[in-house]
Amino acid sequence: MIALQQNYCNEAQTQNRVARRAGNGHPVLVLNADYRPLSYFPLSLWSWQDAIKAIILDRVQVVAEYDEYVHSPSHTIRLPSVISLKEYVRQDRSLAFTRFNLFLRDGFKCLYCGSGHDLTFDHVIPRAYGGKTCWENIVTACSKCNAKKGGRTPKEARMELRHPPHRPNLYELQTMGRKFPPNYLHDTWLDWLYWDIELEA
Ligand SMILES: [Zn+2]
């Protein structure tokens, strides 16, 4: 872990250095254990060589992969494109209220019908009734259920939540994250620029 932190700190020192290290193709986006990039400016990228080393040392989890492979005499490893640290690097920020983390909390399933298709968000208590945009009032919902529910409460719409929404902790998100194989959650690390947008309160 210490080595990884040093690695990250060194790389984060200057944008140039990061660009140079990642510039040999196949940069790997490094997420903290809370699935947010370690840093944004510059974006935390490692060279694929450093990422493979961390995988072999079992310090990171592979979240997404490139289509390419690297070969050694004894191993063939698919090149990672997004990895997350297994151990959280403490930073002064709370668990982000982002699309990704919300979907992750709900296991990428509609909290009304369990469908995994065409997912969007639903305010359990509608905004018109004073419902807030927060962990406790937003759930993953498929478009169909969202349309069916409209601007009503679940009770009014006679739709039942599988369980009430709650603010997850880091451990929960990590446990959920491990259930999904690489590339299930997103195709490329560029998706993160979309996924990691904070939901507006
Ligand atoms: Zn649904």
Ligand 1 geometric centre to CA of 115 (Å): 5
Are 15 and 74 members of one domain?
Answer: yes
Nearest to 10 by CA among 42, 35, 34: 42
Ligand 1 geometric centre to CA of 127 (Å): 19
Ligand 1 geometric centre to CA of 147 (Å): 9
Nearest to 36 by CA among 125, 96, 114: 96
Ligand 1 geometric centre to CA of 61 (Å): 30
Q: Give the integer Cα–Cα distance in Å for 101 and 55.
A: 23
Residue 41 domain boundaries: 2-92
Residue 169 belongs to a domain: no
The total domain count for the chain is 2
Q: What is the pLDDT along the chain (201 residues), one digit of tens a residue?
A: 333 333 333 333 333 333 333 445 788 989 988 888 887 656 688 989 999 999 999 999 998 888 889 887 888 889 999 999 999 888 766 778 888 888 889 998 999 999 999 989 999 999 999 999 999 999 999 999 999 999 999 999 999 999 999 999 888 887 887 787 666 655 555 555 555 566 665
- The burial of 24, by beta-carbon neighbours within 10 Å (0-12 exposed, 13-18 middle, 19 or more buried), is given as exposed
Are 13 and 74 members of one domain?
Answer: yes
Ligand 1 geometric centre to CA of 110 (Å): 5
| pTM for this entry | 0.62
Q: Give the integer Cα–Cα distance in Å for 126 and 124.
A: 6
